[in-house]
Amino acid sequence: MMFPKKLLVYVLIFIAIFACCLLEDREEARESAVGTTSSAWLNTSAPIPENEGYTTARRDMVENQLEGRDIYDRRVLDAMARIPRHEFVPSSYRHMSYEDHPLPIGHGQTISQPYIVALMTQSLQLDDSVRVLEVGTGSGYQAAVLSGLCNETYSVEIITELASRADETLEKLGYAVDVKNADGYFGWEEHAPYDAIIVTCAANHIPPPLVEQLKEGGRLVIPLGSVRYHQTLTLVKKTGGGVVTEYITGVRFVPMTGEAMEQNT
């Protein structure tokens, strides 16, 4: 039986329109799926899988923020390429873990900018035989970096909750760091003397107990200056019982509290 030509034309037009609609629906579905994936990736509360976002972000951090500037110590670069910085950052800020700026960790404190962590660590000239004291544990990230570069790492944090949280995070991730909840202005005399001391909060003077606990020939790095505004990152070398200072760069850190704050008033 033969179809009339006019009817055949209508049938062919209908088939063409139907096919176009199917293609449109499939394209919209594909775009919708892509949009959903992108939204999930950019969602500030959604964790990025370690094998996707964080690994790439950490590599970019090392190449662009550290090697791209003046961080040349291969051991420091390798340590920061290994350590999962995002594990030390509150979940609401994890998507920014490897960006070039500090991040809040609660109690008015911050985890320092990656470049500053690397610069301070490099300035200490560490090797795997030394004993290091950190004043201001904060998130525990700086302590984790130190632990991969030296023999013994001790860290003091004045805020109880931060000390507890950092200790738990470091232990969970397998970093050998002893954390103490105390006023870091007085150091940690029990384990002195130290080959190096790093202070991750600002003071308007070098705490005398820290100089006393530093070995002869040891190095101390500290942000010195106004605790309300900017400071100068300062390298202190102990020699002949006294100290020689060297200015590194301008920085801005949260103030050292406790005894240091008492002496500022």
Sort residue 111 into left (φ over 0), alpha (ψ -120 to 50) or beta: beta
Q: Which of 205, 202, 234 shows the shortest CA–CA distance to 219? A: 234
Q: 32, 92, 112, 139: which one is catalytic?
A: 112
Kindly tell me the sign of the dihedral angle through the C-alpha atoms of 28, 33, 39, 41.
negative
Nearest to 187 by CA among 89, 113, 260, 88: 260
At which residue do the structure tokens 């070398």 appear? 237
Largest CA distance in the chain: 113
Instruction: With beta carbons less than 8 A apart as the criterion, state whether 149 and 75 touch.
Output: yes
Per the CB < 8 A criterion, the answer to whether 59 and 81 are in contact is: yes
Cβ-contact 98, 58 below 8 angstroms: yes
Residue 194's DSSP bridge partners are: 214
Query: Does the active-site annotation cover 139?
Result: no
Q: How far apart are CA 200 and CA 210, in angstroms?
A: 13
- Give the DSSP per-residue string, 140-171: SHHHHHHHTTSSEEEEEESSHHHHHHHHHHHH
Q: Which residues are catalytic?
A: 112
